[in-house]
Amino acid sequence: MSTEEKILEAAEAIFIKDGYDGARMQDIADRAEINKAMLHYYFRSKDQLFERVFNEKAKFFFPEIAGVFSKDNTFIEKMEEFVELYIHFINQYPFIPFFIIRTINTSGKESFIEKLPFKDSLAPPIFNSYFQDSQKGLVAEINPLQFVLSVIGMCIFPFLGRPILQHAFDLKPEQFTELMELRINELKIYIRKILTP
């Protein structure tokens, strides 16, 4: 593994664990098993290293949904698929949601919002698909924005509140992951109930 890769891997781990403010350049260097000066040699500054890490992780906050929303099925079916895709997705990177939420709520890091694919890639296909089925009477009348926020919230919240959950129900990491896998079908039921006309 190249030095640059070692640094990036260590920086990811430390920034995801501690956030920008909590992360220490020395911790990243130690984890990458290199000299601290190398961090600056390869990435100039903490800011630039963080930006590089964020850019590579931003796409893992919202999944790529083109595949789901180009299919020729109903909005309800699409949303069910979306939930399955999304929870599987986050289960593979369970600490990304908090990393992203923390970053966009951190003073001085507001501009990172623009790097998230929500506005351009996620919301429009969902809204379009809803309006199409809505005109055909295939879906209940809901507010699509409020609905999308609800679905994302249902999917993501357990990962943000994970420490509370693990404490309250004494869950081991595997048990948490399993609970989230079971969650997929539960949310599919909720979504179908909400959206059935």
Partner DNA sequence: AAATGAATTAACCAAATGGTTAAACCAAAA
Partner DNA sequence: TTTTGGTTTAACCATTTGGTTAATTCATTT
Examine residue 101 and tell whether it contacts a copy of itself (CB under 8 A): yes
Interaction with DNA in 131-170: which residues (CB under 7 A)? none
Amino acid of residue 143: N
Q: What residue type is assigned to position 120 of the chain? A: D
Chain centroid offset of residue 30 CA:
28
- Binder of DNA out of 16, 23, 83, 96 (CB under 7 A): 23
From 32, 116, 126, 139, residue interacting with a copy of itself (rule: CB under 8 A)? 116
**Residue 34, helix vs strand vs coil:** coil
Q: For residue 160, give Cα distances in angstroms to 4, 119, 164.
A: 30, 22, 9
Contact between residue 190 and residue 87 where contact means Cβ atoms under 8 Å apart: no
Q: Does residue number 47 form part of the binding site for DNA (CB under 7 A)?
A: yes
User: Is residue 41 a contact residue for DNA (CB under 7 A)?
Assistant: yes
- Round to whole Å and give the CA distance between 68 and 134: 18
Q: Is 26 in the site for DNA (CB under 7 A)?
A: yes
Mask: binding to a copy of itself, 130-159, rule CB under 8 A, as x and -?
----------x-xx-xxx-xx-xxxxxxx-
Residues that bind DNA (CB under 7 A): 3, 23-26, 34-38, 40-41, 44-47
